[in-house]
Amino acid sequence: MGKAVAAAESKELEILNELDQDIESGMGQDFKSTDLLIPRITILQDLSPQTKERRAEYVDGARAGMIYNNVNDALETSMLFVPALYHSPYIAWKPRPDGGLVNNDVDPAFLTEENGFYKDGVDRFIGHMRPNPNDDPVKVEVIKTPEWVGIAQGQDWVMPVAISFAGTKAKAARRMNTNIDMTEKMGEDGKLRKYPPFYHTFVMRTALEQSGDNEWFGWAVSHSGTENTDARLRHKGRELRRAFMEDRVTVASPEET
């Protein structure tokens, strides 16, 4: 048994050494930013198509309450998240019970009576939109939605992701914002410093929420502080923030997932 384990470890080390040589010699793929998508992380609900075996979107093992990565189909019960950039785009969603993303960046100038929209509360509009150019219009709720873009780490993957905090999930975004904004550290020079968001790490889990007879899964977020942030994830978060500020990347839209 010991020899088999040693042989397996030796083979793995050989593969890693070969991988490092390929990377250092420039054999990796050099994609342009326009060739890539930033995945969208969502929480699966009871009616999510990923949980329905007869739906094309079905993912083996998916169940309500799981964290879902819509690019690599990864399913997680928890993940680490290093935030990079916060913004609040207007996002179009299908109303419950269907649910689902329709457009992840609606121009506010489009949300007018002339285009069939009416205001329904603060930063919330009701109307109809086409999910794709050839689709029939569907009823949508367009909501100014808190969203964090950052670096997520699952069980066996690390990549940039976007997380939208629609509806009641917004309280989780406010919790993250508050931790980032109010956390200061005293340096050896005696100065207090407020760290950029990518110095922070959060543990993202899900929790069952309820209002009346309705139940759904929302975010349960805990702050791991700044000392435990992996330097590699911090570097990736810094580069991701810079890429967004320079308009070099975009979040996956519905028709691309």
The tens digit of pLDDT for each residue in 240-254 reads 999 888 888 877 654
Say whether pLDDT at 56 is over 50. Answer: yes
The confidence band for 227, taking pLDDT boundaries of 50, 70 and 90, is confident
Say whether pLDDT at 144 is over 70. Answer: yes
Three-state SS at 75: strand
pLDDT at 148: 95
Cβ-based neighbour number of residue 175 at 10 Å: 17
Asked if residues 208 and 240 have their Cβ atoms less than 8 Å apart, the reply is: no
Look at 24-33, 61-70, 103-112, 121-130 and tell me which has the smallest mean pLDDT.
Answer: 24-33
Instruction: Report how far apart, in Å, the C-alpha atoms of 171 and of each of 55, 83, 146 are.
Output: 32, 16, 10
d(CA 164, CA 179): 18
Say whether pLDDT at 22 is over 70. Answer: no
Say whether pLDDT at 226 is over 70. Answer: yes
pLDDT at 40: 86
Secondary element (H or E) of residue 241: helix 231-245
pLDDT at 78: 97
pLDDT at 186: 83
pLDDT, one tens digit per residue, over 177-201 is 999 999 988 878 888 888 999 999 9
Average pLDDT, the chain: 85
d(CA 51, CA 125): 29
**What is the arithmetic mean of pLDDT over 218-222?**
96
The confidence band for 100, taking pLDDT boundaries of 50, 70 and 90, is confident
Secondary element (H or E) of residue 55: none
For the chain, give percent helix, strand, coil, nearest 5: 30, 35, 35
Peptide bond into 131 cis (omega under 30): no
Q: Which residues, including other chains, have CB under 8 Å from residue 155's CB and lie 6 or more apart?
A: 74, 76
pLDDT at 75: 97
pLDDT at 257: 41
* Predicted model pTM: 0.78
pLDDT, one tens digit per residue, over 62-76 is 999 999 998 899 999
Say whether pLDDT at 208 is over 50. Answer: yes
